[in-house]
Amino acid sequence: MYRFKKITLKLSLPFTLPFTLLLLTSIGLSAQTIESYPSNWWVGMKNPQLQIMLHAPGIGNASITLYNYPGVTLKKVNKVDNSNYLFLDLQINPTARAGTLHFKLTGTTGSNTQNTSGANSIPATFDYTLQPRRPGKGRQFAQGVDSHDLIYLLIPDRFSNGDPANDKIPGLRDQSLDRDSIFHRHGGDLKGIINHLDYLQDLGVTTLWMLPVWQNDMPDRTEHGYAITNHYNVEPRLGTNADYRALGDSLHKRGMKLIQDAVYNHVGLYHFFVQDKPTKDWLHEWPAYTNTTYKDQVLFDPYAATADRKRLSDGWFTPMMPDLNQNNPYVANFLIQHAIWSVEAFGVDGWRVDTYIYNDLPFMNRCNQALLDEYPNISIFGETWVHGVPNQSYFCCNTVNTPFKCNLPATTDFQQLFYGIQEALTKPFGWTEGVNKLYTTTAQDYLYSDPTKQVIFLDNHDLSRFYSVIQEDTAKYKMALSWLLTFRGVPQLYYGNENLMTGVTNPDGWVRLDFKGGWPGDPVNQFSAAGRDAKQNAIFNHIRTLARYRQHSPALQKGKLLQFVPEDAVYVYFRISENNSASGNNNTNNYSANRNIGTSDRIMCIMNTSNDTKTIDPKRFSEGIGTNTTGTDLPSNTSIDLHQPITLRPWSMLVLQLK
């Protein structure tokens, strides 16, 4: 999610905006070009239906036929309100082979369909490519992301500059390049990320999630990527489609995974189909500018007013981000096909959906199902920045009997952050306060169909850095990281967590600073231990130790969670697996050899959330300890006798592998 700085616009709708052509597929007559979306497709897809959007001046006045191609049928040519568009409905049967489709267009003069000779008829052809499918579905791509994984979220513009030649692109509206400004572009790109995959893998990361990589030709604040202006071209200041494909391939060769950030709810104001709308109802438009209320409650409130529901879903996210009408079948097909195209073209393994609650939820169910039908192993989680576990659970697969059911497998778990670990480390212990809030929030997991799919995190690109939230207290920060890497769900780091990056969202640019060492000539290189100070290296090693351990721990990968009611500011929970082997990602290292993970893998986590030293009696926790007699604290490699009282320093946490 990204919210532009609030501005006031007086809009006269529908918009009258400039129109820019972007060449994807060309024909050889006139100076005219035809854009096709999707830009290509594949044979052998489970769904044989394909709808191609054609965009060119006056193309809607033309007639179009498909030259004979075995296994492919042009079922219907759809003309719409705007004569600059045609929509072709194709059926691609299982017998069809990869190759090139040849289409013939014939048009008459009028509107914009004239050839250079001025004749009344303009024969023209254009080609469309059907490719063979990417091999390895569900194994080498579209694998899904689960609790075996560790996600690393980064902003491509702020991570590393691997190709200074693409820092500025002539013709784009935003020509900023100033690393001293938090609101301008800084030059990071996809090649810079590829250059540092060794670093991520060494840290214990298994999965990369980047902010959107698609073209974002807006006048300013383009560093975040959430105002897409072309769905089929990678943002040129980040690189090319080939660079994005190379990044996905590089990750998969390492046994790592790729998550794509998807934006269905809105696009940038300068998207070509906003400037030149295919249909009158392409967008949600109002007599005067209308913003969404951001009030998720109206979607499940049994007493909600219809007008409030409409404004939440149909109101614009910001004045610079038009709200798409997902009830329009052409809009819906465009978005769904782009999702499938992205997975097949770039080998995406998981899908993070931005601003989930503002979408049309029946459309989202259809979109999610289309992805899962084609890629059964792929994971999908949505951003649900709401307040309260019941609110959040409404938007994903849940156990609640409601008139409408969402099929989203998981969400980004803001509740475990806001009403869990953040409360535990910033508020004093009380009946419902402090770490009791973490316990109570977790107790509401019964509302989720599968809480282990929830993505847990300490911060992200929209939130204040957690290290700043806890007043740069390193002891508390280690506790938070230990919790993140041992709790239920899929853990997610935000770039720089490992280097004690600070920043508060006042404004948000302060939580999106550059990774030091990512640019040629940086005086400090935090990709190297030599460039980190003692505190930073301690945190880096703390994360690395637990992250690499969890790659081989059945308990942390898939073990059940057992928690005890906090007493005297001490919270104890276990992760327990009776299985004798870990499964999941293909990353390997020698770390497990020193830990002797046995047939019953049990991890005991003990948090002291007070300013005082605490002592606990292990007998209270015998249900979790079982027959084990000792525990080894993973971060410090110290041994604890489970027959004796355990003493904990103020604001400390033990992560014990039981033996």
Q: Where are the beta strands (DSSP E) in 124-252?
A: 124-131, 151-154, 207-210, 214-215, 230-234
Pairing of the two strands 614-616 and 350-353: unpaired
Contact 96, 43 (CB under 8 A): yes
CA–chain centroid gap for 123, Å, is 44
Pairing of the two strands 455-457 and 646-648: unpaired
Q: Could you report how far apart the first and last alpha carbons of the chain are, in Å?
A: 44
Q: Give Cβ neighbours of residue 195 (< 8 Å, ≥ 6 apart).
A: 160, 162
Rounded to 5 degrees, φ, ψ at 28 are -95, 15
Q: Is 573 left (phi over 0), alpha (psi -120 to 50) or beta?
A: beta
- Concatenate the DSSP letters of all residues of 376-433 into one string: TT-EEEE----SSHHHHHHTSSBS---SS-----EEB-HHHIIIIIHHHHHS---SSS
Nearest alpha carbon to residue 336 among 616, 37, 124: 37
Q: What angle do CA 198, 202, 204 make, to 5 degrees?
A: 125
- Concatenate the DSSP letters of all residues of 36-51 into one string: EESS-EESS-SS-EEE
Question: Is 89 an active-site residue?
Answer: no
Q: What is the DSSP letter of 554?
A: H
Q: Which helix (H) or strand (E) segment is 550 a member of?
A: helix 534-550
Q: What's the length of the chain?
A: 659
Spell out a b/e string for 73-96, using b for 16 or more CB atoms within 10 Å of the CB, else e: ebeebeebebbbbbbbebebeeeb
Nearest alpha carbon to residue 426 among 396, 466, 382: 466
Angle 534-550/474-484 helices, nearest 10 degrees? 10
Contact 297, 245 (CB under 8 A): no
3-state secondary structure 101-157: EEEEEEEECCCCCCCCCCCCECCEEEEEEEECCCCCECCCECCCCCCCCCEEEECHH
Question: Is 276 an active-site residue?
Answer: no
Rounded to 5 degrees, φ, ψ at 350 are -150, 165
Q: Which position among 296, 383, 498, 514 bears the catalytic label?
A: 383
Q: Which position among 35, 223, 314, 354 bears the catalytic label?
A: 354
Q: CA Rg, the chain, in Å?
A: 27
Q: How far apart are CA 383 and CA 372, in angstroms?
A: 18
Nearest alpha carbon to residue 131 among 341, 351, 371: 341
Q: Which residues are catalytic?
A: 354, 383
